[in-house]
Structure 1
Amino acid sequence: MKDESKKLTRLDPKIKNFQEGLLKKYREANQKAQKGQIVFVGSSLMEIFPIEKMQEEHDLKLGKIIYNRGIRATTTKYLLENMNTQILDLKPSKVFINIGSNDIGFHVPEEEFLGNYDQILKRIKRELPDTEVFVMAFYPVNDKAVTAIDDRSNRALEEASSKIKQLTLKNGYQYINVNQGLTDKNGLLRDDLTFDGTHMYPKGYEIVLKNMMKYLK
C-alpha cells in the first residue's frame, strides 16, 4: 500500500494515461449528453460512485440524468485545469463536488489547495450563474488502514472540510455532509464498507445516495 501511494504522488505514467483516456472519453460523451442535467465530479471517490448504474436500477424519478465525471488520483489543480470537460460543457442544473482528499494525501500546500477550490467555485458562478452547487464533506476513512498510506486521517479531512465549508458559503453555495451511517462506533469508516480504508464498495455508496436524495430532487 505504501509503495502504491508513492507512485500516485509521482503521477505514475499508467495513472496519467488512464486519466487522459478517461478525459477523452468524457469529451466525446459530452457531445451527445443532454444539457441542464446533474453532474458528479471529483477524484476516485467520485469516479467509483456507481451513480449512473444506481439511477437506472433504482428508478430514482429525478426527471434528470446524472453524469459522473470523476477521475481518479486527481487534485483541485487537475479539476481547475479541466473544468470545461468535467463540468462547464455540460451546463448542468446541479453539480456535486467531492475533490481535495488527494491534495491532502499528496501534501499539496493548504494555501494552494484552498485557492484552487475557491477558483473552481468562482468560475462556476461566473460561467454557470444558474447552476446549483453542492460541495460535499469528505467521506470518513478507516485510519487503521490509511495512516500506512499517507496523511489522510479523519482529523486532517475534517479540518480541511471545515475550511472548504467556509469557502463554499462565501461563494453562496451549499455545503453538504452525507456521511451518516458510514462510520463505526469509533468514528472510522466501517470495515464492511471499504476495501482499502478509503474507497468504498457499492453498498457504501448506497448509504451516501440515500443521504443525498433530498439534494438531488
Structure 2
Amino acid sequence: MKNKCRLIALLFSFIIGSSIAFAQENRFDNEVANISHRIDSIGWSKGSVVFTGSSSVRMWKNLQNDFPNTPIINTGFGGSTAKDLAAQLFPLVLRLEPSTVFIYEGDNDINGGETATEIMTTLDEIVTRIQKQLPNTTVNLIAAKPSPSRWELKTSYLVLNDLMRQYCTGHENVNFVNVWDIMLDKTGVPRADIFIQDNLHMNEKGYALWKEVFTPFLEK
C-alpha cells in the first residue's frame, strides 16, 4: 500500500511538474492569441511588412502612421526574448506570409543573462525557419538599443550588435538595422530626452529617431 501511495505521489508530482514546465515554455500563449485575434479582426494581407519582437516594437503605436504607404502588421509582444519568438514564430510571422520581417530581440535576452552567442544561435534558427518556409521574404534584424536603465550592460549589447552585423553580412536577404548610434548623445551615452520615465522604453522622440533609421529599408 505504501509503495502504491508513493507511486501515486510521484506520478502526481510528475504531472504537476510537466504542467509548470509547459506553462513556462508557452508563457506568451494568451498574449499571442489576443494579438492574432486583433490582427484577424482588423484584416491583413499576404505580402505585408511584419514588425515583431519585444516591447520596443509593441509600443511603437504610430508605426503604421509613420509609414502610411506600407501595409504593416505589428506583432510585438512585451517582455519577449529570441527564444519566446522562436516558440511563437508561426502565429506571429509565418502564417502572415510577409514580404519583409523586422525582428527586435536581444534586449531582454542580455538583461536576462543570455550571452550574445546564445542569442545569435536562436536568431539563426528563426531566420532559417523563415527563409525555409518563405524563401522570398527579407529578414531585418534590429540592433539592441542603448538605454539608461541597462547602460551597465553596454559591452554585452555591443558584442551582440556586432555579431548581428556580421551575421547579416554573411547571409543573403538578411539586413542589419542599426538603431544604436542614433540614440546616443555627443558624449556617447543614451539620450535622456528620448525615453519615458522607466529609462528603458522610448517616447515619441525616440520613435521619431527610429523612423529615420527604418525609412531606407521601407522605401526601397
TM-score tier (shorter):
0.7 to 0.9
Measure, in 1, the Cα distance between the counterparts of 2:90 and 2:96. Answer: 8
C-alpha change, 1:185 and 1:47, in structure 2 (3 Å) is same
Query: Counterpart in 1 of 2:215?
Result: 213
Shift in CA distance, 54/125, structure 1 to aligned 2, threshold 3 Å: closer
Measured after TM superposition, the shift of residue 27 of structure 1 is 2.1
Give, in whole Å, the separation in 1 of the partners of 2:165 and 2:77. Answer: 22
3-state DSSP of counterpart to 1:178: coil
Q: Who is 1:38 aligned against?
A: 49
Give the gaps of 5 or more residues in structure 2: 1-22
Separation in 1, partners of 2:166, 2:200: 24
**Alignment of 1:21 onto 2:33:** no
State the alpha-carbon separation in 1 of the partners of residues 186 and 161 from structure 2. Answer: 21
Deviations 1:37-79 (A, max 9, x none): 01111111111122xx3433x5x442x3111111111111110
1:4 aligned residue: none
**2: CA distance, partners of 1:120 / 1:163:** 15
CA distance in 2: counterparts of 1:104 and 1:47, whole angstroms = 19
What does residue 199 of structure 1 align with? 201
CA contact (8 A) 1:121 1:168 kept: no
Note the alpha carbon deviations across 1:4-41, whole angstroms, 9 max, x for none.
xxxxxxxxx9xx87x43320122224443211101111
Identity within the alignment, %: 27
- Name the CA distance, whole Å, in 1 between partners of 2:147 and 2:96: 31
- Can you give the 5+ residue segments of structure 1 that lack an aligned partner in the other structure? 1-12
RCO greater where, 1 or 2, for CA within 8 Å and sep 6 or more?
Answer: 1
Asked if the contact 1:189/1:197 (under 8 Å) is kept, the reply is no
Instruction: Call closer, same or farther: CA 1:89–1:136 in 2, change over 3 Å.
Output: same
Q: For 1:55-70, what aligned pairs fall within 5 Å after superposition?
A: 55-56=64-65, 58=66, 60-62=67-69, 64-70=70-76
Q: Secondary structure at the match of 2:183?
A: coil
1:179–1:211 CA contact under 8 A, matched in 2: no
- Contact preservation (8 Å) 2:81, 2:106: yes
Which residue number corresponds to residue 189 of structure 1? 190
Give the total of aligned pairs. Answer: 191
Aligned partners of 2:91 and 2:189: how far apart in 1?
Answer: 34
Q: What is the CA–CA distance in structure 2 between the aligned matches of 1:132 and 1:21, rounded to whole Å?
A: 28
The answer for the alignment partner of 1:7 in structure 2 is: none
CA distance in 2 between counterparts of 1:168 and 1:181 reads 20
> Contact 1:193 / 1:201 at 8 angstroms: preserved in 2?
yes
- Tell me the residue number matched to 2:137: 131
Per mean C-alpha deviation after superposition, the further-off stretch among 128-137 and 165-174 is: 165-174
Distance, in Å, in 2 between the alignment partners of 1:130 and 1:74 is 26
TM-score of the two chains, using structure 2 as the length reference = 0.78
Summarize the Cα distance change of 1:184–1:44 in structure 2 as closer, same or farther, 3 Å threshold. Answer: same
Letter in 1 for 2:133: E
Q: 1:114 to 1:211 in 2, by over 3 A?
A: closer
Which residue of 1 is the match for residue 125 of structure 2?
119
Larger radius of gyration: 2
Check the 8 A contact 2:143/2:176 in 1, yes or no: yes
Q: Is the 8 A contact 2:82 2:106 kept in 1?
A: yes
